[in-house]
């Protein structure tokens, strides 16, 4: 398995075979950061979704 660079701490890590698309190492701090970014993205997507919903229901 090829080493990857963690998106949070920038250190190289080896992804688990079960999760080859992993972009954060297993450090608890980095896992927290991963969740935080995921939630941020989710909120953004939700906002887009709500926005779309309002627009489409108006027409
Ligand atoms: Zn990390």
The predicted pLDDT at position 44 comes to 92
The predicted pLDDT at position 33 comes to 97
Output the CA 47–ligand 1 centroid distance in Å. 29
The predicted pLDDT at position 5 comes to 97
In the chain, which residues have pLDDT < 70?
A: 1, 58-59
Output the CA 37–ligand 1 centroid distance in Å. 14
DSSP run (H or E) holding 36: helix 28-58
Work out how many domains the chain is built from and give that number: 1
The predicted pLDDT at position 59 comes to 63
CB atoms within 10 A of CB 4: 17
The predicted pLDDT at position 4 comes to 95
Output the CA 24–ligand 1 centroid distance in Å. 5
In contact, 35 and 27? CB cutoff 8 Å: no
pTM: 0.69
């Amino acid at each position: 398995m090829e080493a990857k660079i963690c998106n949070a701490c920038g250190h190289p890590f080896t992804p688990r075979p079960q999760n080859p698309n992993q972009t954060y190492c297993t450090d608890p701090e980095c896992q927290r950061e991963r969740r935080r970014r995921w939630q941020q993205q989710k909120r953004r997507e939700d906002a887009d979704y709500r926005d779309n919903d309002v627009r489409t229901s108006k027409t």
